[in-house]
Structures are given as structure tokens and as C-alpha cells.
Amino acid sequence: MKRLVLAFAVLAASACSSIPSLPFSQPSGFTEEAMSGGRVRIVYEAPTAEVTRKLVADRTLSRAAQITLDKGNEWFEIASKVDGKLEGKNTQTLVIVMGKGEALAGGPKQYDAKETLASLKGKIS
């Protein structure tokens, strides 16, 4: 019986480590703001001009997924997205709506938070 409990504990721990996790506190370069209607605005400014627009987009998407999970939700939908530049550095602003259980219409802007984090693992460092 002890072996079964130990095996289960090891499996549970390894499952948790397969999903990348950002620190609970707000990571560097991000600003976040709760909005009306349960929406959250996430703004990311790249630390240097060399950070590509694609990497900025991946980091912002990853942060949206992490916030979704931190708030106890399963999926998020991008309500609006703005790409830009500030002092020569790429930026991206996302406004997301989060939920759990059955998703909304399931359009192309909707993401499963766990799947999104798993797919971005290794791409956002």
C-alpha cells in the first residue's frame, strides 16, 4: 500500500512539473489590470530592441494562460490585441476573458490555458 501511495505521489509531482510556471508575482516587463466584465488587460514590453515580435507574442500569450490558471479558470479568449513599439522595443497588449467548463463559441482566439502553456514551454525563455 505504501508503494502505491508513493507511486501516486511521484506521478502527481511529475505531472505538475510538465506545465511551465511563471512566478506568482508579476514577471518583469508585464503590467496587468483587472477590467470590468471579468476582463484582464495584459501589457508586455520587451526588455531590449532585439526581442522579436514573435517572442513578445509568445510571452504575452503564456502570461495570459498563467493568469487564467492562477485565477482558477481553464480557458481564455482574446477580446482584443494590439502590437506596437515603445522606444524601439516590441510591445503587445492583450485583453482577455476567462472561464471554466464549457468554452464560449470556440473561435480562433480562444485557448485552453494548460495546453497553451505546454505548447509554449521552451519557446519563451
Q: How confident is the model at residue 38 (pLDDT cuts 50, 70, 90)?
A: confident
Instruction: Check residues 38 and 35 and name the one with the higher pLDDT.
Output: 35
CA distances from 103 to 81, 106, 125 (A): 20, 6, 29
Q: Decide: 88 and 49 in contact? Cβ < 8 Å.
A: yes
Give the strands of the sheet with 75-86, arranged side by side: 30-34, 39-45, 89-99, 75-86, 110-112
Q: What is the pLDDT of residue 5?
A: 35
pTM of full prediction above 0.85: no
Q: Decide: 92 and 81 in contact? Cβ < 8 Å.
A: yes
- What are the pLDDT digits (tens) for 56-103? 999 999 999 999 999 999 999 999 999 999 999 999 999 999 998 876
Lowest mean pLDDT among 15-19, 41-45, 49-53: 15-19
